[in-house]
Structure 1
Amino acid sequence: MSFNMNRINPNQTQVFFHDGRFETLTNEELEDFLLQMGLSDVNETFEQNLLE
């Protein structure tokens, strides 16, 4: 499943799926989503990119 992420405020991220759907997730929901996708390391990379 392909998706892009966009942080919209400190506690919410929008996840845009390539089929046109999107979801707005809290940090906790985002962490659970990434774990389900098998991408737990992406969260750390995403957080680091926000700080740069």
Structure 2
Amino acid sequence: KVTLKRGAKTMSFNLNRINPNQTQVFFHDGRLETMTNEELEEFLLQMGLSDVNGALEQNLIE
């Protein structure tokens, strides 16, 4: 679970790797998106969380 707080806005989401090139992003407002590695990397960079993507990749290798 990842929770981001920017000012008055809070965004929470869970990440679930479903195969080596796709991750499901479950937002706590009910939305679900399936993203490729490239889309996920861009999303995480926009959120300021580039380290999370590296951790996901490391978990796949292990």
TM-score by length of 2: 0.76
Q: Work out whether 1:30 is the aligned partner of 2:40.
A: yes
Gaps of 5+ in 2: 1-10
Gaps of 5+ in 1: none
Query: Share of identical aligned residues, percent?
Result: 85
Instruction: Report the aligned-residue RMSD.
Output: 0.9
* Max Rg structure: 2
Distance 1:50 1:22 in 2: 21
Q: Which one has the bigger strand percentage? A: 2
Distance 1:23 1:11 in 2: 14
Any residues of structure 2 matched to 1:1-52 within 5 Å, and which?
1-52=11-62
Number of corresponding residues: 52
